Amino acid sequence: MASMQRPMPTEPGILQFMEICDSFYPPDAVSASITQQRQWYDALCARFDRPLPENMKIRDDVVSGAIPVRYYVPAQIRTDTKLLYLHGGGFVVGSLQSHHAICAEIADHAGAELISVDYRLAPEYRWPAQTDDCFSVLKQLLAQKTKVVLIGDSAGGNLAAGLAVRAKSEGLSGIDGQILIYPALGGDLASGSYVEMAEAPGLTTADVAYYREILQAPQGDPVSAPLALSSVADLPRTFMTVAHYDPLRDDGRNFAARLAQAGVEVWFREEPQMVHAWLRARHMSDGARNGFAAVCAAASRFTGSR
pLDDT digits (tens, 9 = 90+) for 106-130: 999 999 999 999 999 999 999 999 9
Q: Which amino acid is at 148?
A: V
Is 1 a residue whose pLDDT tops 70? no
Task: Give the active site residues.
Answer: 154, 246, 276
Instruction: Count Cβ neighbours within 10 Å for each residue of 243-255 and write b for 16 or more, e otherwise.
Output: bbbbbbbbbbbbb
Q: Is the pLDDT of residue 305 over 90?
A: no
pLDDT (average), residues 252-277 = 98
Please report, rounded to a whole number, the percentage of residues in the chain having pLDDT higher than 90.
94
Helix, strand, coil tally for the chain in percent (to 5): 40, 20, 40
Domain 12-303 = CATH 3.40.50.700 = no
Query: How would you label 88-112 residue by residue, b for 16+ Cβ within 10 Å and e otherwise?
Result: bbbbbbbbbebbbbbbbbbbbbbbb
Note the pLDDT tens digit of each residue in 163-187.
999 999 999 999 999 999 999 999 9
CA distances to 31, 73, 194, 195, 227 from 110, in Å: 39, 11, 33, 37, 29
pTM over 0.95? The answer is yes
DSSP 8-state secondary structure symbol assigned to residue 81: -
**Amino acid 25: pLDDT:** 86
Residue 81's pLDDT band (boundaries 50, 70, 90)?
very high
For position 5, what pLDDT does the model report?
74
Examine the pLDDT at 140 and tell me if it is beyond 60.
Answer: yes
Q: Report pLDDT digits (tens) over 185-238.
A: 999 999 999 999 999 999 999 999 999 999 999 989 999 999 999 999 999 999
**Integer Cα distance of 148 and 290 in angstroms:** 24
Would you list the domain boundaries of the chain?
12-303
- The pLDDT assigned to 2 comes to 42
What is the band of 27 on the pLDDT scale with cuts at 50, 70, 90? confident
Are the beta carbons of 147 and 176 closer than 8 angstroms?
A: yes
Return mean pLDDT, the chain.
Answer: 96
| 269-295 average pLDDT score | 98
Query: With 80 as the cut, is the pLDDT of residue 105 above it?
Result: yes
Confidence band, pLDDT 50/70/90 cuts, at residue 4 = low
